[in-house]
C-alpha cells in the first residue's frame, strides 16, 4: 500500500486566538488535496479552540507531551489532557526541544513510548547540525537519535519520522532535493535493518526545514519524501500550496 502523504504544521510559540481562528478559517475554506493527511500543531492552549472550529478530517497535534500519566509535575501536559481536548498526535524530539531544553535521545524515546502506549500518534524528529553535516556525520547522528526510539518501542504503526536538518530550520536555507532524498533513503535503510523491511516500507518520513511554496513541489516528487513538517510557512497562506504540493 502506498504511503499517504502527510503535511503537518508546527506553529511553535506563535499565535493568538484571533490568528489561530484566521488560520483555521483559511484551512476550512480552502480546497485541499483529498489524498493528503493534514495535521496542525498550535500552541497547547489553543488546541481546544482549534478542535472546536476546525473542519473534520484535519487532525491536531501537540508540540510536546509528558511521559508521566498525571500528578505533581508542574507545567507539564499529559497524554490524557491532550486526548481530552481532541489532539490525536504529538511532535517529539524537535531540535528546539533537544537544543534549548536539553531533551536527550533517551527522553525523546521515553516520551514516544508513553505517547504511543496511551493512544497518541507521534511525529519523531531527527536531524543534524551544520557542523555535523560538514564533517560527514549526518547519517550517524540521525541513526543514533532514532536508535533510542527503536530500542524503546515495538509498534511502529503510529510513528511518523521527520527529518529536519537543524541548519535549515528557520534559516531560509533548505536541503537540496538530492540531500533530502539521500537522508530519507538512509533512514529507511536503517529502519529495515533495525526493525523490519515492512516497517521501513510503511513508515512515513517527512522533510522539515524551511519548506515553502517555492520548494515543496520538487521535494514532494522524491520517492522517499512522504510529506512535510512545516514551521514558519504554516502561519502563512502558502501553507495551502504546500498541502497541495503533489497536485
In a domain, 202, yes or no: yes
Predicted local distance difference test score (pLDDT) of residue 1: 65
Please indicate whether residue 94 is annotated as part of the active site.
Answer: yes
Q: Is 164 a catalytic residue?
A: yes
User: Is residue 205 situated within a structural domain?
Assistant: yes
Instruction: State how far the Cα of 46 lies from the Cα of 30, in Å rounded to an integer.
Output: 21
Percent of the chain at pLDDT above 70?
A: 100
In 10 A of CB 87, how many CB atoms? 26
**pTM more than 0.85:** yes
Place of cell 505533581: 72
Q: Is 69 domain-assigned?
A: no
Q: What is the pLDDT of residue 130?
A: 87
Q: Give 118-177 pLDDT, tens digit per residue.
A: 999 999 999 999 899 989 999 999 999 999 999 999 999 999 999 999 988 777 777 889
- On whether residue 71 sits in a domain, the answer given is no
Helices (H), the chain: 17-29, 47-53, 79-84, 95-100, 105-117, 130-134, 138-152, 177-194, 197-202, 216-220, 238-243
Q: pLDDT tens across 55-104, in order?
A: 999 999 999 999 999 999 999 999 999 999 999 999 999 999 999 999 99
Widest distance between CA atoms in the chain: 48
73 belongs to a structural domain? no
Residue with cell 499517504: 4
Catalytic-role residue among 59, 103, 132, 164:
164
State the catalytic residue, choosing from 59, 94, 128, 184. Answer: 94
User: Is residue 238 a part of any domain in this protein?
Assistant: yes
Looking at the domain assignment, is residue 141 inside a domain? yes
Residue 75 lies in a domain: no
| Domain with 211 in it | 5-24+35-64+80-243
Helix axes 138-152, 105-117, angle to 10 degrees: 40
Helix (H, G, I), strand (E, B) or coil at 112: helix
CATH of the domain at 230: 3.20.20.70
Q: Mean pLDDT of all residues in the chain?
A: 96
3-state secondary structure 114-130: HHHHCCCEEEEEECCCH
The structural domain count of the chain equals 1
Amino acid at each position: 500500500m502506498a504511503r499517504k502523504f502527510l503535511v503537518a504544521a508546527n506553529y511553535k510559540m506563535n499565535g493568538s486566538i484571533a490568528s489561530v481562528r484566521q488560520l483555521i478559517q483559511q484551512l476550512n475554506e480552502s480546497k485541499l488535496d483529498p489524498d493528503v493527511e493534514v495535521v496542525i500543531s498550535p500552541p497547547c492552549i489553543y488546541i481546544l479552540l482549534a478542535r472546536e472550529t476546525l473542519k473534520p478530517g484535519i487532525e491536531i497535534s501537540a508540540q510536546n507531551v509528558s511521559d508521566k500519566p498525571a500528578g505533581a509535575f508542574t507545567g507539564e501536559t499529559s497524554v490524557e489532557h491532550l486526548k481530552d481536548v481532541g489532539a490525536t498526535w504529538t511532535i517529539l524530539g524537535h531540535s528546539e526541544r533537544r537544543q534549548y531544553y536539553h531533551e536527550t535521545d533517551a527522553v525523546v524515546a521515553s516520551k514516544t513510548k508513553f505517547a504511543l502506549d496511551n493512544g497518541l500518534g507521534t511525529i519523531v524528529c531527527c536531524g543534524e547540525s551544520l557542523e555535523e553535516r560538514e564533517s560527514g556525520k549526518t547519517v550517524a547522528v540521525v541513526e543514533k537519535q532514532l536508535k533510542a526510539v527503536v530500542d524503546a518501542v515495538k509498534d511502529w504503526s503510529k510513528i511518523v519520522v521527520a527529518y529536519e536538518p537543524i541548519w535549515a530550520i528557520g534559516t531560509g536555507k533548505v536541503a537540496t532535493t538530492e540531500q533530502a532524498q539521500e537522508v530519507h533513503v538512509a533512514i529507511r535503510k536503517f529502519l529495515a535493518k533495525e526493525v523490519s523491511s515492512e516497517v521501513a516500507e510503511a513508515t512515513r518520513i517527512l522533510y522539515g526545514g524551511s519548506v515553502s511554496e517555492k520548494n515543496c513541489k520538487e521535494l514532494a516528487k522524491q520517492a522517499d519524501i512522504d510529506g512535510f513538517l512545516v514551521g514558519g510557512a504554516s502561519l502563512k497562506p502558502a501553507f495551502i500550496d504546500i498541502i497541495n504540493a503533489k497536485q
